[in-house]
Chain A
Amino acid sequence: MTILLSVHDLRAYYGQVQALHGLSFDLNEGSMTTLLGANGAGKTTTLRAICNMVRSTGAIQFEGKPLNGKSTENIVRLGIAHVPQGRGTFTTLTVEENLQLGAISRKDIKAISSDIERMYAHFPVLKQRHTQQAGTLSGGEQQMLAVARALMLRPRLMLLDEPSFGLAPLVVRDLFNILGKINREDKVSILVVEQNAQLALEIADKAYVIETGRIVMSGNATEIANDESVRKSYLGY
């Protein structure tokens, strides 16, 4: 099992406030990992620290290469796609333009249009709306668009921040099925931050639980899902 992403002693700061207190974890290639925890625990901060969107110290390595000191855009170009909280959709641009932007850093221009067609196959509703302004799409559709946009990068690692936020349960189930498919078939490793722990634990193989900036629990997703004390203390159900 090769290690895709290794995070060691990650500390992150918002101004003078320290949000992460020495996080360490590894992601294996091909895995689907979920980061769980209550509001304000530091889950989003972790994702942002990986992409250097927040001031942090510690060693992060992706495919053996250190990410320290690299700008966000250069980290992304290494093959890490990040779907942020709120999706980060380019609301004033069309659906198709959003997809094109996902691939904007790629040099293999000829392959891009066929990739767009593949996205439309994964997500037919996007094809229907491909000339519409992205801001007019529903929440669920925008989430699909955000995932599709991330996939256009042909990433090896995809970071998702609360993809279920604000979506109806059926839509979320759909989305998570697609994520599972992407993980297995396209061999994209996924790290998903979720507040909806139950759902996340169903699709993930590994899980970490964060509380106030520290990892308090880690292990196999099914084990954690079955451990009632863990669920009650950290995951609220």
Chain B
Amino acid sequence: MDFSKVAGKNNKHKVVLYALSTCMWCKLTKQFFEENNIEYEYVDVDLLEEKEKEKVRKYLQEKGGTLAYPTVVVDDVTLITGFRKDELKKVLEL
């Protein structure tokens, strides 16, 4: 699966964003990372092939997540669903 990488000075944590290309809350999440110089990678799930969408579903559900977007996975462990600024700040130590 191709993730788009966005460079940033702050690469303390591995940040992966599962997003939808049409979703404004996902756009706000991307903006938030960029404003805070967070290095992250993302995938717009709606633009993926069916097989890959299914992989995302399995992955998120195995991680105990829901299927709502945006979902941010920090360091492969912490899942944050929805654009929850306070939670993101806490986990990313901002």
Partners in one complex: no
Show the binding face of A for B, using Cβ within 8 Å: none
Show the binding face of B for A, using Cβ within 8 Å: none
